[in-house]
């Protein structure tokens, strides 16, 4: 399995890290989780929002990695972009929780750029 595929696996679990942080307040209401999460504030609320955004970012990333592999893209570039995506997304979550909106946006943009970057690696291979 390539490093990029391992990064897809890491990205699968990233939202759950942020969800765990959001729910760390204790007395989580599993009978009404959405209602309970809607009542959060402060850094736990931002951790929940980071969780939601991380779930949203996963499908295009996973698709880009799979497509880049499928088309025989340069493995070094695929691995590097996949690792960069994961590192930037972890930074994004940390910046979100720490309430650093400008840094968060920069990290989001960098991670997002990895997705078309993976498509570019695939396109350069197929000509």
Q: Is the pTM above the cut of 0.75? A: yes
What structural domains and CATH numbers belong to the chain? 3-126 (1.20.120.550)
Taking the C-alpha atoms of residue 112 and residue 107, their distance in angstroms, rounded to an integer, is 8
The string of pLDDT tens digits covering residues 57-108 is: 999 999 999 999 999 999 999 999 999 999 999 999 999 999 999 999 999 9
Taking the C-alpha atoms of residue 80 and residue 7, their distance in angstroms, rounded to an integer, is 10
Q: What 8-state DSSP symbol labels residue 74?
A: -
């Amino acid at each position: 399995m390539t490093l990029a595929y391992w990064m897809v696996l890491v990205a699968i679990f990233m939202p759950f890290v942020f969800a765990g942080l959001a729910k760390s307040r204790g007395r989580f209401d599993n009978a009404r989780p959405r209602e309970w999460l809607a009542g959060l504030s402060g850094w736990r609320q931002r951790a929940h929002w980071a969780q939601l955004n991380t779930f949203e970012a996963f499908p295009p990333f996973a698709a880009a990695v799979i497509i880049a592999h499928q088309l025989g893209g340069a493995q070094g570039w695929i691995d590097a972009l996949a690792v960069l995506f994961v590192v930037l997304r972890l930074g994004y979550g940390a910046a979100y929780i720490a309430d650093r909106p400008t840094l968060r946006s920069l990290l989001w943009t960098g991670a997002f750029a990895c997705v078309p970057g993976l498509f570019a690696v695939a396109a350069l291979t197929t000509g």
